[in-house]
């Protein structure tokens, strides 16, 4: 794709220095005063143009990382795949990238996998080169500190105005260079309320399997961006629409497809809507609860299959939780600090129908009780059968004895013990001396 420059002067765009981080302005001005080109670039420019407040402020320059480091004592260089300079101001980090070329100069600083995936890209070039190697036109806009204009080499300014997400270059080639771009297309369209341009969208279902080549740890980070940034419902629907859900969560996607009533999908969407509401309110959100929601359809399907094969319900629960987790981490590297609480949330669901005093006390004291109860409330969106349990445990948190009297439960339930008890050994009485 050739770069044709369009300059949008200050009086024809809405970007003001008041909307830019003071630390980012310090970096821009120092680079400019040292004789380098300096531009605010990417998501910050795009977000301001659509009326959002950017979270990050990235800068592009013709200065090499080493030159940037020479200008800032508070700078550190990071990355091998993409060499970058981070200028650190307390908790804020301003990322400074040198213009990258879109060709291999033979130096060995650009490495491409046989399948087309870009493994290393540290060949430096001009701003024109840099613009056409970026992913989407909306991310290839440059705000110049020299004259406060916006530089557009790919038609991104018009695409932002029309709220269109368009890939730069040939979509097949660009997705093969980095399959995670497919997830970025969905995520950014969800965040910005953009539509994905047809040519950009068409290859995604065909190439979705390429996500299997991405590092599971990177896909975990992408999942957090997809679902914990305030647009989880739109992201989930976008993954479904473009055939990516089965690539990220294959077992859940299969379970949702086989659930004719749609109850499981309704529950997942309700959980994601709740997550969006918490993000909007500034409340904390838990990755463990998020993944408990996203993988619940897979867990239910595995649990039912194991019971159909003759496994006892409690043992089937344990095996299903382990099986789903082990299968999922091969695609998305869910850390144990999240996968273990996720499993506890699932396994505690079996305790909620049981209302004997000792069991109630033990359940209330469980460190994962509150999250598990919130999950039970979420399950009620899929089935009214849980209404009595929700009412009981709502009351039990305030007055367990009154709840037990008000909502008498079963005397005993077989298969309740989801946590095995240790057998106590009798202490031996020491033999009398002499």
- For the stretch 30-45, pLDDT in tens is 999 999 999 999 999 9
Q: What is the dihedral of CA 87, 89, 93, 98, to 10 degrees?
A: -20
Question: Average of pLDDT values for 156-166?
Answer: 97
Token pair for 412:
């005993």
Tell which residue, 176, 205, 223, has the closest CA to residue 329.
223
Catalytic residue among 56, 172, 374, 418: 56
* Distant-in-sequence, close-in-space partners of 258: CB < 8 Å, separation ≥ 6: 301
Name the more confident of 205 and 429. Answer: 205
For residues 133 and 173, give the distance between their C-alpha atoms in angstroms, rounded to a whole number: 12
Per-residue confidence (pLDDT) for residue 105, from 0 to 100: 43
Q: Tell me: pLDDT of 431 over 60.
A: no
Has 56 been annotated as catalytic? yes
Tell which residue, 200, 199, 176, has the closest CA to residue 188.
200
For residues 340 and 322, give the distance between their C-alpha atoms in angstroms, rounded to a whole number: 10
What is the phi-psi region of residue 35: left when phi exceeds 0, alpha when psi lies from -120 to 50, beta otherwise?
left
Q: Tell me: pLDDT of 272 over 90.
A: yes
Percentage of the chain with pLDDT > 70?
Answer: 88
Name the more confident of 425 and 13. Answer: 13
- Mean pLDDT, the chain, rounded, equals 89
Has 135 been annotated as catalytic? yes
Three-state SS at 78: strand
Name the more confident of 164 and 410. Answer: 164
Token pair for 232:
């989880």
For residues 187 and 181, give the distance between their C-alpha atoms in angstroms, rounded to a whole number: 10
Tell which residue, 13, 16, 14, 41, has the closest CA to residue 27.
41
Q: Tell me: pLDDT of 78 over 80.
A: yes
Catalytic residue among 47, 58, 159, 178: 58
Percentage of the chain with pLDDT > 90?
Answer: 80
Q: Tell me: pLDDT of 196 over 80.
A: yes
Question: Containing H/E element for 393?
Answer: helix 387-396
What's the pTM?
0.85
Catalytic residue among 62, 121, 135, 276: 135
Question: Average of pLDDT values for 14-31?
Answer: 96
Has 147 been annotated as catalytic? no
Q: What is the dihedral of CA 219, 223, 229, 235, to 10 degrees?
A: 120
Name the more confident of 12 and 121. Answer: 12
The predicted-structure confidence for 83-93, as pLDDT tens digits, reads as follows 899 999 999 99
Alpha helix (H) ranges present in 330-386? Answer: 336-348, 357-364, 369-379
């Amino acid at each position: 794709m050739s770069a044709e420059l369009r300059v949008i002067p200050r009086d024809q765009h809405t970007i003001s220095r008041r909307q830019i981080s003071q630390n980012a302005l310090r970096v821009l001005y120092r680079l400019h005063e040292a004789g380098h080109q300096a531009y605010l670039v990417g998501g910050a420019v795009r977000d301001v143009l659509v009326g959002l407040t950017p979270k990050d402020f990235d800068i592009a320059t013709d200065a090499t990382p080493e030159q940037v480091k020479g200008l800032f004592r508070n700078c550190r260089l990071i990355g091998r795949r993409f060499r970058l300079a981070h200028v650190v101001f307390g908790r804020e980090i301003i990322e400074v990238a040198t213009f990258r070329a879109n060709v291999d100069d033979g130096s060995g600083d650009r490495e491409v996998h046989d399948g087309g995936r870009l493994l290393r890209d540290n060949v430096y070039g001009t701003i024109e080169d840099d613009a056409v190697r970026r992913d989407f036109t909306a991310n290839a806009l440059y705000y110049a500190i020299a004259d406060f204009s916006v530089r557009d080499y790919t038609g991104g300014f018009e695409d932002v105005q029309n709220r269109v997400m368009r890939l730069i270059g040939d979509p097949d080639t660009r997705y093969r260079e980095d399959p995670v771009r497919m997830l970025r297309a969905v995520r950014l369209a969800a965040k910005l309320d953009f539509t994905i341009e047809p040519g950009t969208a068409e290859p995604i279902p065909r190439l979705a399997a390429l996500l299997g080549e991405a590092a599971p740890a990177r896909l975990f980070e992408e999942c957090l961006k997809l679902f914990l940034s305030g647009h989880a419902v739109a992201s989930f629907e976008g993954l479904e629409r473009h055939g990516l859900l089965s690539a990220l969560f294959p077992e859940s996607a299969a379970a949702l497809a086989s659930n004719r009533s749609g109850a499981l999908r309704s529950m997942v969407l309700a959980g994601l809507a709740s997550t969006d509401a918490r993000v909007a309110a500034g409340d904390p959100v838990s990755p463990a609860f998020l993944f408990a929601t996203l993988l619940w359809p897979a867990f239910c399907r595995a649990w039912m299959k194991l019971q159909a094969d003759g496994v006892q319900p409690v043992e089937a629960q344990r095996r299903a939780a382990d099986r789903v987790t082990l299968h999922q981490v091969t695609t998305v590297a869910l850390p144990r600090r999240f996968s273990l609480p996720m499993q506890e949330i699932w396994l505690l669901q079996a305790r909620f129908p049981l209302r004997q005093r000792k069991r109630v006390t033990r359940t209330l004291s469980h460190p994962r009780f509150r999250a598990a109860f919130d999950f039970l409330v979420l399950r009620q969106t899929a089935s009214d059968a849980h209404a009595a349990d929700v009412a009981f445990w709502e009351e039990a948190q305030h007055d367990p004895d009154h709840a037990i009297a008000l909502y008498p439960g079963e005397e005993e339930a077989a298969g309740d013990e989801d946590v095995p008890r240790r057998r106590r050994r009798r202490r031996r009485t020491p033999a009398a001396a002499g």
